[in-house]
Structures are given as structure tokens and as C-alpha cells.
Chain A
Amino acid sequence: GAVVSQHPSRVICKSGTSVKIECRSLDFQATTMFWYRQFPKQSLMLMATSNEGSKATYEQGVEKDKFLINHASLTLSTLTVTSAHPEDSSFYICSASDGGGTDTQYFGPGTRLTVL
């Protein structure tokens, strides 16, 4: 149980285009979803927290107009990188929490974004 999927697993795009990444909880309802960014050989940095049906809360330094997050249902959150540039190339990982007492986050397999 508690499986989180991400799509696509890899994406290559041209500079200036927008890319959408999906995060789905497959067998549970995710009241909260989190988006992280990870550079090579580095740790995960929280970008934003989203609760179903409400606006996402962004971490300091993360541009909300560049990284659009939508959490329209209890099983789906999307991250759209708008007007992507090479410096946006990174590994994007989502996680989902079912709001249980342990606040356990279940992580997706990640999406490798390469902006040319």
C-alpha cells in the first residue's frame, strides 16, 4: 500500500517551454502533497506544500509564478514549470501524506527534468 507515482519519469524540453509533472497517490487519499527538488549528489529541498482544494504554500525563495502547483483532487497534484530554463534542470520528487497521526510522507519515484 501507500504507492505514489509520478509522470513522466524523464522529460527533456527546450528553453522557454512549460513542463507539467503529475503526482498521484494510487491507493490512498492524499490530503497533503509536497514537492521537492534535488540537485545531483545533494539532498531534497522542499519547494511547496499543497493541500487539496487550496492554494499551495511555497518555501522561501521559490517563485510561485514559475512553479505552478495544482492539487485538484485527493489523488492528484501537478507541478508546472513555466518558461523553463537550463537552471531549472533537476530531479523533482513529490510525496503524499494521508493526514494520519504519524504524518508519514510517501515519496514518488521522481521526475528528471532536463532543459536544453
Chain B
Amino acid sequence: TQLLEQSPQFLSIQEGENLTVYCNSSSVFSSLQWYRQEPGEGPVLLVTVVTGGEVKKLKRLTFQFGDARKDSSLHITAAQPGDTGLYLCAGEGGKLIFGQGTELSVKP
């Protein structure tokens, strides 16, 4: 069974701080996706990483796919209150396997 361990599960920080969310697995995925979800809404795709070692940037968000395509990280620089939400990683291995999610709260 493919599993994705996401950490931390909860994160509360002050505006302006940096943070990193990790997504780890013992399985290899053909691609890995990061989503952000607001309460009462469906997840919204932020990025898809496909190649081992790939790094993608989306404004203040930096996504990295591990060389072995088993792990990924999301780094947010200078977090803002608008970044508050549930961040989910999901690995593609025939079907989407979701991590447990990271509930991020950025306080002004």
C-alpha cells in the first residue's frame, strides 16, 4: 500500500516567517502534486512536479521533488495571512494518494 506521510500536521506562525512542509513516502511516484484547500471548498492544484530533483517556484512558494521521486517539500517564504489553509500533497501512482494534510495558520 502506498502511503504519503505529511508533516507537520499543524503549523501556526507569525506573518513574515518562513516554513517548510514535508511529504515523504517509501514508494516512488510518477508525479507529485501540491494542493491548497480552503474550508468548505475543494482542493485547488498549486503545482505538479514530475522529474526527480525538480524545483518549481510559484511566487513565494518553492516546491521540490526528491531525486528518487519518493518525497517532496513545500517552502513558503515570508508567509502572509492569506496563505492560511490546508495544504495537501498527493502522489500519482495509478491513483492519487493524499498525504494527511498540513493545517497552516498565519497570524498577522
Binding site for B on A (CB under 8 A): 4, 6, 34, 41-46, 49, 91, 93, 95, 102-105, 107-110, 112
Contacts and interface: CB of A to CB of B under 8 A. Distances in A.
Nearest to B50: A102
Interface residues of B, number: 21
A42 B90 CA distance: 14
B92 to A, nearest CB: 6
A97 to B, nearest CB: 10
A105 B31 CA distance: 13
A5 B68 CA distance: 36
Given A49-B95, A103-B92, A108-B42, A41 B103 contact: yes
B63 interface: no
Contact of B96 (A6, A42, A105, A109): A105
